[in-house]
């Protein structure tokens, strides 16, 4: 294996050095005169004290390159040297990634030494051909009753978790990572607060979850391009395990911060803002990233993407665009979170577009029955609260009030509580599978 790595390095080594100099510095963008580079190529930018960081060519005009560093570089000045590497960003992949934490460039982030990879691949992968995607027909276990029973998630499906800040998205992702039936978890924390990373690993994921997971972390204080590339690294790692025939759970937190990072990159490159300040490149990259998950000829990537909705507005541009690309959406509401209802999933506002394919007849009947009871209860909630509802006015409402505690007990779940798929479906059929009034 080591000899193969040396051979690969020799094959990719370019003895000709392409050099240039920094001409101008504009915020997060560095403009260089030479060297000749292709878009996406990586270069080394040197500071006055001889240190260097990696930067990527994101655009060009006339004879100048637009370079955006992956890291902050102090003591940077006009006239400093730029050296092209001749290749785009690549990472090492292999089974040695399991249990490890990587940064947005695929480098070790956990202090456990170098990554032992089997091969080096570019992070700019392409989605599987549409004709190579096998149908989604098998339900995957998440360990969460509200999802497995009412919003079934299929092996290779893509679903979004839509919520405002502080309503339990990260906690929900941690539960899925611990309890899912997937072979491997790939978890991307893009644009998160640095404090939350270790807390997520220790409190939400735990040792058991980490052992079969790979984490890619690019915190909010990293340059915008590093956050964007962190998302690509996560997709590339997931694709590696998928190509081994494994079922991968890709947990991505969050698409919104990925879009904000790409907005900064696009605006720095001179793009014009289009929708609420987002340039067109944001809406071009979103489907390219999201389509990399799904089923392929072998293996699958089940994608769970969180979307941070600004001001709890479900129709803001990123939420609206992502909802159209995914195969379902799970909505968390602040009202339920404030009531101590966890997970704060609003079932009536959520939908799995593949539920008809994944549920058998008895499960579908029970799920529809429970939804009808919840909908009828919501319609008279204000009347019940003030004591204005008269029992017997609506048989369906009467049944909903009778089963109210059972509904809430089914939907609520402790953080450490794990519900197997068999238990979840059995409880659903037992509580709500029998016929009830069709008022």
Angle, vertex CA 151, rays to CA 244 and CA 437, nearest 5: 150
Low-confidence stretches of the chain (pLDDT beneath 50): 436-439
Enter the tokens of residue 54.
Answer: 């990696």
Beta bridge partners of residue 54, listed in sequence order: 44
246, 155 contact by CB (below 8 A):
no
Query: Which helix (H) or strand (E) is 384 found in, with range?
Result: helix 381-385
42, 55 contact by CB (below 8 A):
yes
pLDDT at position 116 is 82
In whole angstroms, give the CA distance from residue 87 to residue 104: 17
DSSP state of 46: E
pLDDT at position 15 is 59
225-245 burial: b if 16+ Cβ within 10 Å, else e: bbbbbbbbbbbbbbbbbbeee
In whole angstroms, give the CA distance from residue 172 to residue 187: 13
* Chain mean position to CA 2: 33
DSSP state of 128: P
């Amino acid at each position: 294996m080591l000899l193969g790595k040396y051979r690969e390095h020799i094959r990719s080594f370019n003895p000709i050095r392409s050099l240039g100099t920094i001409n101008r510095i504009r915020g997060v963008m560095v403009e260089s005169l030479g060297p000749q580079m292709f878009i996406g190529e990586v270069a080394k930018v040197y500071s006055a004290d001889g240190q260097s960081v990696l930067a990527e060519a994101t655009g060009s005009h006339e004879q100048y390159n637009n370079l955006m560093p992956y890291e902050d570089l102090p003591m940077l000045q006009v006239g400093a040297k730029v050296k092209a590497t001749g290749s785009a960003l690549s990472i090492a992949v292999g089974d040695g990634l399991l249990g490890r934490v990587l940064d947005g460039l695929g480098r070790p982030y956990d202090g456990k030494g170098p990554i032992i990879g089997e091969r080096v691949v570019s992070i700019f992968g392409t989605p599987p051909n549409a004709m190579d995607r096998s149908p989604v027909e098998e339900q995957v276990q998440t360990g969460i009753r509200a999802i497995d029973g009412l919003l079934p998630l299929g092996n290779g499906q893509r679903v979004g978790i839509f919520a405002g800040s502080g309503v339990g998205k990260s906690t929900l992702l941690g539960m899925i990572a611990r309890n899912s039936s997937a072979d491997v978890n790939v978890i991307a924390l893009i644009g998160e607060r640095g404090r939350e990373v270790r807390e997520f690993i220790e409190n939400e994921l735990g040792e058991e979850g980490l052992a079969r997971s790979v984490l890619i972390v690019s915190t909010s204080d990293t340059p915008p391009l590093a956050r964007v590339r962190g998302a690509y690294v996560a997709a590339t790692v997931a694709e590696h395990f998928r190509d081994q025939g494994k079922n991968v759970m890709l947990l991505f937190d969050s698409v919104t911060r990925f879009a904000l990072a790409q907005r900064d990159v696009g605006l720095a490159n001179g793009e014009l803002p289009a929708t609420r300040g987002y340039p067109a490149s944001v809406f071009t990259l979103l489907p390219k990233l999201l389509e990399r998950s799904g089923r392929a000829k072998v293996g699958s990537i089940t994608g769970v993407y969180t979307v941070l909705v600004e001001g709890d507005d479900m129709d803001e541009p990123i939420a609206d665009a992502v909802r159209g690309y995914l195969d379902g959406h799970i909505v968390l509401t602040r009202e339920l979170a404030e009531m101590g209802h966890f997970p704060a999933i609003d079932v009536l506002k959520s939908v799995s577009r593949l539920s008809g394919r994944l549920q058998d007849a008895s499960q579908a009947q029970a799920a529809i029955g429970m939804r009808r009871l919840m909908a009828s209860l919501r319609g008279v909630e204000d009347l019940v609260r003030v004591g204005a509802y008269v029992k017997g006015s609506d048989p369906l409402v009467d049944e909903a009030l009778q089963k109210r505690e059972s509904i809430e007990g089914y939907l609520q779940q402790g953080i450490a509580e794990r519900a197997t798929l068999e238990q979840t479906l059995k409880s659903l059929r037992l509580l709500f599978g029998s016929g009830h009034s069709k008022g």
